[in-house]
Structure formats: C-alpha cells, structure tokens
Structure 1
Amino acid sequence: MTSRPGDSDPSDSTAENQPLVCARCGTRSEDPQPTWTCSMEHGTRHYLCDTCARENLRAIEGRLDPAWW
C-alpha cells in the first residue's frame, strides 16, 4: 500500500490538498506519482519528477548535497 505525502506526518494536514511540485524544474502534479522521488533535506520533504530524478540519479544515490547537482 502506498501512502500520500503527509500521511505519516500528522502535523502537516494540508499536504494532501496541495499539488506536488518538483524541486528542480517546478513541474506540478495533483496526484501522487509512483515515478517521482521524495527526499528529506534539512527536515523538509523535496519531490523530484521522474525526469529530474533520472537525470540526477547518481548524485541522489551518492547523497550529494542538492546544491552540488
């Protein structure tokens, strides 16, 4: 079973009503996308669309700081 963004964080009840926005290119999606990537940066969730995630896969897996890539 897949959970929507915000389901595991009860303090963020508005997350379900807000569209996902890619942290790199700004692509928006109203529904959760199984091909998008979610990462935690300094305690904040950041989402990457499938295109940006593919383009930066090595940096993501290497846990490089997003400012670097």
Structure 2
Amino acid sequence: MDEETHSPEQSADGSVVCARCGTAAEGETAPPTWLCSVEDGRRLLFCESCARLHIRAIESRLDSLWW
C-alpha cells in the first residue's frame, strides 16, 4: 500500500476535535471512547455522541459523508 494516512484534525491549541460535530477532546489525544475511522487516507476521529448516533452506518462501513 502506497497510501499515506494523515494524522487526525487538531484545533489551534493542539486538542483533538470530532470530525462530525467539532467537539474538542481534553488533552492532546482522543479518549478511548472515541471512534477512529480511516477514509480516503485520512484518519478521522468521532466523539462518543456522534459514534453512538451513527453506529448503524459505521458498522455498515459507510463513509461519514453518507451519514
């Protein structure tokens, strides 16, 4: 595989943010309850609320653009 995985989105202060709703995690790493997804070579992190709300689409392996 020649694809490069980019690091997750981070805010200006260095905290990790949810790719769906923009919620910022405390600290520089995502909590263990957050979901990580790789889409188009980018690593996306979703907060616990967004992951719970869209669990069926996630388990169906739909890209986040669909949900």
- TM-score normalised by the shorter chain: which range applies? 0.7 to 0.9
Percent identity of paired positions between Structure 1 and Structure 2: 49
Structure 2, unaligned runs of 5 or more: none
Deviations 1:9-38 (A, max 9, x none): 8x96xx8x8311101100001243010000
> Which amino acid is the alignment partner of residue 61 of structure 1?
E
Alpha-carbon distance between aligned partners in 1 of 2:22 and 2:34, rounded to the nearest angstrom:
13
TM-score by length of 2: 0.72
Structure 1, unaligned runs of 5 or more: 1-8
Q: How many residues align?
A: 57
Alpha-carbon distance between aligned partners in 2 of 1:32 and 1:23, rounded to the nearest angstrom:
12
Alpha-carbon distance between aligned partners in 2 of 1:27 and 1:36, rounded to the nearest angstrom:
11
Partner of 1:50: 48
The structure carrying a bigger strand percent of its residues is: 1
Cα drift, residue 53 of structure 1: 0.3
Structure 1 counterpart of 2:64, from 59, 63, 66: 66
Cα drift, residue 46 of structure 1: 0.2
